[in-house]
A and B are shown apart, each in its own frame.
Chain A
Amino acid sequence: MADTKVYQYQLTIKWGTKLIKGLETTGFSNKPNFDDVLLKEDEGNAVKEFIDCDTEMKIAGKTLARDGSASGTHEDFETLRIASAAGAQVAFVYGRMTQGAQQVTGYGWLTAWDEDGGSEKKMGGWSGAITAKKGSLTYGVQA
């Protein structure tokens, strides 16, 4: 069976149930946490015991505002700006948005938000970070 190339553009994020207008890059970071455990039975050799994971997703894009018809399917940088100020916990989906593809689902908060706008007749940029709620993540396949 042939291998499948997963292209960069296929890896995306849904905030709630919506895609994000102008999204250019996504990043996914998992940092597993361990405790060193040394029991009598380990005979002097400490072992790592898995505790949990710190999971964060980075998003960045262009200042492209959604039009009215996209409000049911897309967030944009202005709605995410508001979300970052609200501090609400929201469901997310990370991965490929196609049937049968691997995805990470869970809950998280927008824990960082930045916008950059110069003075040229060009779109500005924005970036943000979503910190996942510990224990809320599911690694699965899109039905």
Chain B
Amino acid sequence: MIGEAIQATVVAIIPNTYAIVGDEEIVAPYCVHIETELEPTRVKEGILNYNYSVEVLIIDSLPDSVISSAALVRAAIEALAGTTVNSTTFEQVIYEGDDPGFDQESRLYASNIRFTIETKTR
């Protein structure tokens, strides 16, 4: 599954990495990722590839750390193109953008990185 592959990739950079939602007592720095399946690309002969919208949210108390972690995570996820991780064969990994943020209450900085990913297997 693509979620397991993203988890395995990002946890190597940010140990506190979670799928969909973080732990209740979570402490920054941490990362949460979510994968949404889009319509697959179909041709007459069958499904050509599966498409996913992937968001990786990185939270840290220091803005510089968010930026450096986001750069590492982006490079690691882009490097998945053409590889097979946790039985998911990645084709194209398209970086769509990066939304920075800051939460006044918790005083934490965030970066939400967005990708569109094509995979050969589900």
Contact = CB atoms under 8 A, between A and B. Distances in A.
A105 interface: no
Given A121-B92, A121-B94, A122-B92, A24 B42 contact: yes
Contacts of B92: 121-122
B48 interface: yes
B43 interface: yes
Interface string B14-57: 00000000000000000000000000011111101000000000
Interface residues of B, number: 9
Contacts, number: 30
A120 B94 contact: yes
Given A120-B94, A121-B92, A122-B92, A23 B44 contact: yes
Contact of B43 (A23, A120, A122): A23
A9 interface: yes
Interface of A: 9, 12, 19-24, 26, 61-62, 64, 120-123
29 contacts: A9-B42, A9-B44, A9-B46, A12-B44, A19-B44, A20-B44, A21-B43, A21-B45, A22-B43, A22-B48, A23-B43, A23-B44, A23-B45, A24-B42, A24-B43, A24-B44, A26-B44, A61-B43, A62-B41, A62-B43, A62-B48, A64-B43, A64-B48, A120-B94, A121-B92, A121-B94, A122-B92, A122-B94, A123-B41
